């Protein structure tokens, strides 16, 4: 497959991890004895990302969008089908075996499920010290017990509990153990694959606060994966939104949260909780219909077109009469929803929005805001998708709400702000610390 044209920021001394046009596919096999390859799942398809020192890049997307696959490739658990992974500016595929080993030290992973990712038959001390067996040069054998105690203390656990077993800890504490294990070999980067998704909301804030403290203390960089844009908003400096193996929007957190341009991002944003829960069903909530299509058979053109509320809206305006929705380039009815021809046939690439000169300038964004949508720059984008069963009101464009009229992002409540994490108490934390 040809390399997709992408616009990203590359290079720079502060870049600790970079992926360029990364793809990972898996064969689809049929048959009981003779397993024939009948297709492939394009789990990740042409992703380019840059992670800089001391920063957090949030990676968001629905289930099956390829987040974990990307994470596994980044930490070296799996090899990419195409593209490059650069650690500290060096292409991993050109590294010697010894250098790749070192890479594994540099980039460590925190897993989603603290219940299954810890071996129940190993003590916490053994779990946290396990990386020393794989990387014996990280800490001399005689200093490992002290190093484990130090790591447990670093993540807020009692070093005296090193002999306990995972089942004796709460979910939040187990995730702390997972973080301690990831930090054992002094990495530069933590790839955190939904590190709080399996935890109670009350404990999520504690783990996020811990990660933020560790970042400040150790200068770590995070790739932080989550379904929940609200969680990412709290911790991320930059955000990349994935849909069906592709990044569809990327930028610094202010650009993505305050000026989202991709209709998928806007739908995810509209689901972010607001202070008044009863307001959730008020106009503004964009409900995505159906499940994401299979990555084994992605839709033609724009992969999002089968679920895109904006494409349908533009097509409706186009079909409503001459002069309406002229940007659509003609709407066409096929088997699926009525969407502009362009959306069904042309695959949009990530395009930079805004003036390039502002990126990196004082007061400007640190990273470009990029969006993969043919209609990302249509100036007036309605906040609320119309009810397409109703006749189209051709005066609607003039009445549409300007993006600036949307709810002030400052008014959105950060879920982590709802309750001061310091006020929250993980009951089991107490029991173990006492
Ligand atoms: N080893 C594999 N073999 C075949 N298909 C796979 C494999 N691993 C992942 N996939 C497929 O690749 C796609 C992306 O999966 P992945 O787990 O990366 O998504 P995800 O974004 O992490 O989802 P979730 O939010 O549910 O964790 C899915 O369709 C999944 O079924
Ligand atoms: S290109 Fe078309 S289908 Fe894709 S996100 Fe943009 S409007 Fe929707
Ligand atoms: Mg996953």
Reported in sequence order, the residue ranges of 217-355 that DSSP labels E, i.e. its strands, are 221-226, 238-243, 246-252, 331-332, 339-340, 351-353
Q: State whether residue 245 is helix, strand or coil.
A: coil
Confidence grade of residue 433 (pLDDT, cut at 50, 70, 90) = very low
The CA distance from 337 to 329, in Å, is: 16
Average pLDDT over residues 289-304: 92
Residue 280 has a pLDDT of 44
Is the model's pLDDT at 392 over the cut of 50? no
Is the model's pLDDT at 193 over the cut of 70? yes
Q: Which residues of 178-207 are buried (b: 16+ CB within 10 A; e: fewer)?
A: bbbbbbbbebbbbbbbbbbebbeeebbbbb
Average pLDDT over residues 291-310: 93
Confidence grade of residue 334 (pLDDT, cut at 50, 70, 90) = low
- Between the CA of residue 234 and those of 149, 209, 231, 253, 414, what are the distances in Å? 30, 10, 5, 10, 7
Compare 169 and 283 and report the one with higher pLDDT. Answer: 169
Distance of CA 303 from the midpoint of ligand 2 (Å): 8
Tokens of 396: 């609607």
Q: Which residues line ligand 2 (CB under 6 A)?
A: 262-263, 302, 304-305, 308, 310-311, 339, 343, 348, 373-375
Which string of DSSP letters, residue by residue, matches 117-182?
A: SS-TTS-HHHHHHHHHHHSTTSS-GGGHHHHHHHHHHHTT--GGGTTS-GGGS-HHHHHHHHHHHH
- Give, to the nearest 10 degrees, the angle between helix 171-183 and helix 144-154: 130
**Contact (Cβ atoms closer than 8 angstroms) between residue 64 and residue 292:** yes
Percent of the chain whose pLDDT exceeds 70: 74
Distance of CA 197 from the midpoint of ligand 3 (Å): 10
Tokens of 225: 């994966």
245 within ligand 1 shell (Cβ under 6 A): no
The CA distance from 252 to 209, in Å, is: 20
Place of tokens 């048959």: 31
Q: Considering only CA atoms, which of 131, 110, 253, 91 is closest in space to residue 189?
A: 110
Q: If you take atom 4 of ligand 1, which residue's CA is the nearest one?
A: 26
Residues 6 or more apart whose Cβ sits within 8 Å of residue 277: none
| Candidate from 243, 249, 299, 311 with most ligand 2 atoms within 8 A of CB, to mutate | 311
The CA distance from 183 to 109, in Å, is: 9
Ligand number with the minimum distance to the CA of 39: 1
69 within ligand 1 shell (Cβ under 6 A): yes
Is the model's pLDDT at 302 over the cut of 50? yes
Confidence grade of residue 420 (pLDDT, cut at 50, 70, 90) = very low
- Between the CA of residue 74 and those of 41, 51, 222, 275, 312, what are the distances in Å? 19, 12, 12, 36, 36
Domain ranges within the chain, ordered by starting residue: 15-27+41-236+417-433
Q: If you take atom 1 of ligand 1, which residue's CA is the nearest one?
A: 26
Question: pTM of the prediction?
Answer: 0.82
Q: Considering only CA atoms, which of 365, 432, 424 is closest in space to residue 200?
A: 424
Full strand arrangement of the beta sheet holding 36-52: 36-52, 15-30, 82-87, 90-91
Q: If you take atom 5 of ligand 1, which residue's CA is the nearest one?
A: 26
Average pLDDT over residues 186-214: 92
Residue 425 has a pLDDT of 37
Is the model's pLDDT at 399 over the cut of 70? no
CATH topology of domain 15-27+41-236+417-433: Rossmann fold (3.40.50)
Q: Considering only CA atoms, which of 89, 115, 42, 58 is closest in space to residue 231?
A: 58
Is the model's pLDDT at 406 over the cut of 70? no
Confidence grade of residue 332 (pLDDT, cut at 50, 70, 90) = low
72 within ligand 1 shell (Cβ under 6 A): no
Residues 6 or more apart whose Cβ sits within 8 Å of residue 46: 1, 3, 4, 6, 21, 22, 23, 82, 83, 245, 246
Average pLDDT over residues 187-211: 92
Average pLDDT over residues 191-211: 91
Task: Tell me the chain's radius of gyration from C-alpha atoms.
Answer: 23
> For 47-61, how does the pLDDT look when each residue is reduced to its tens digit (9 = 90+)?
999 999 999 999 999
> For 23-74, how does the pLDDT look when each residue is reduced to its tens digit (9 = 90+)?
999 998 887 777 788 889 999 999 999 999 999 999 999 999 999 999 999 9
> For 95-132, how does the pLDDT look when each residue is reduced to its tens digit (9 = 90+)?
888 888 887 789 999 998 878 889 999 999 999 999 99
**Contact (Cβ atoms closer than 8 angstroms) between residue 205 and residue 199:** no
Average pLDDT over residues 79-88: 94
Confidence grade of residue 335 (pLDDT, cut at 50, 70, 90) = low
Q: State whether residue 307 is helix, strand or coil.
A: coil
The CA distance from 339 to 310, in Å, is: 9
Ligand number with the minimum distance to the CA of 343: 2
Compute the mean pLDDT over every residue in the chain, rounded to the nearest whole number.
80
Residue 149 has a pLDDT of 96
Compare 420 and 299 and report the one with higher pLDDT. Answer: 299
Q: Is the dihedral of CA 185, 112, 42, 332 positive or negative?
A: negative
Residue 370 has a pLDDT of 96
Q: If you take atom 2 of ligand 2, which residue's CA is the nearest one?
A: 343
Percent of the chain whose pLDDT exceeds 90: 52
Q: 39-53, 225-239, 382-396: which has the highest mean pLDDT?
A: 39-53
């Amino acid at each position: 497959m040809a390399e997709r044209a992408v616009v990203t920021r590359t290079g720079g001394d502060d870049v600790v991890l970079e992926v360029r046009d990364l793809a990972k596919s898996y064969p689809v096999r049929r048959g009981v004895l003779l397993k024939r390859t009948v297709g492939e799942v394009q789990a990740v398809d042409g992703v380019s990302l840059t992670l800089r020192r001391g920063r957090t890049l949030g990676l968001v997307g629905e289930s099956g969008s390829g987040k974990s696959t990307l994470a596994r490739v980044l930490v070296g658990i799996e090899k990419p089908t195409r593209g490059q992974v650069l650690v500290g500016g060096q292409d991993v595929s050109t590294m010697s075996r010894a250098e790749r080993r070192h890479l594994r030290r540099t980039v460590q992973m925190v897993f989603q499920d603290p219940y299954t990712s810890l071996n129940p038959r190993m003590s916490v001390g053994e779990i946290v010290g396990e990386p020393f067996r794989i990387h014996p040069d990280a800490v001399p054998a005689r200093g490992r017990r002290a190093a484990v105690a130090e790591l447990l203390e670093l993540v807020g656990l009692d070093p005296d509990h090193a002999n306990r077993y995972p089942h004796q800890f709460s979910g939040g504490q187990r995730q702390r153990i997972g973080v301690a294990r990831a930090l054992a070999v002094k990495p530069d980067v933590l790839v955190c694959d939904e590190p709080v998704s399996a935890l109670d909301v009350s404990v999520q804030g504690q783990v996020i606060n811990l990660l933020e403290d560790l970042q400040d203390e150790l200068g770590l960089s995070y790739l932080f994966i989550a379904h929940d844009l609200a969680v990412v908003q709290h911790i991320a400096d930059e955000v990349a939104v994935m849909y069906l193996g592709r990044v569809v929007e990327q930028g610094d957190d202010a650009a993505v949260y305050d000026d989202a341009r991709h209709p998928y991002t806007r739908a995810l944003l509209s689901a972010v909780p607001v202070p008044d829960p009863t307001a959730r069903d008020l106009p503004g909530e964009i409900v995505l219909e159906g499940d994401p299509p299979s990555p084994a058979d992605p839709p033609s053109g724009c992969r999002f077109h089968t679920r895109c509320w904006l494409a349908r809206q533009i097509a409706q305006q186009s079909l409503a009469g001459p002069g309406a929705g002229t940007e659509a380039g003609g709407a066409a009815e096929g088997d699926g929803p009525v969407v502009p021809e362009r959306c069904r046939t042309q695959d949009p690439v990530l395009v930079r929005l805004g003036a390039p000169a502002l990126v990196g300038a004082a007061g400007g964004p640190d990273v470009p805001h990029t969006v993969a949508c043919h209609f990302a720059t249509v100036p007036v984008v309605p906040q609320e998708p119309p009810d397409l069963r109703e006749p189209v009101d051709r005066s609607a464009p003039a009445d549409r709400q300007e993006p600036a009229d949307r709810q002030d992002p400052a008014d959105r409540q950060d879920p982590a702000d709802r309750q001061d994490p310091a006020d929250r108490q993980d009951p089991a934390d107490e029991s173990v610390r006492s």
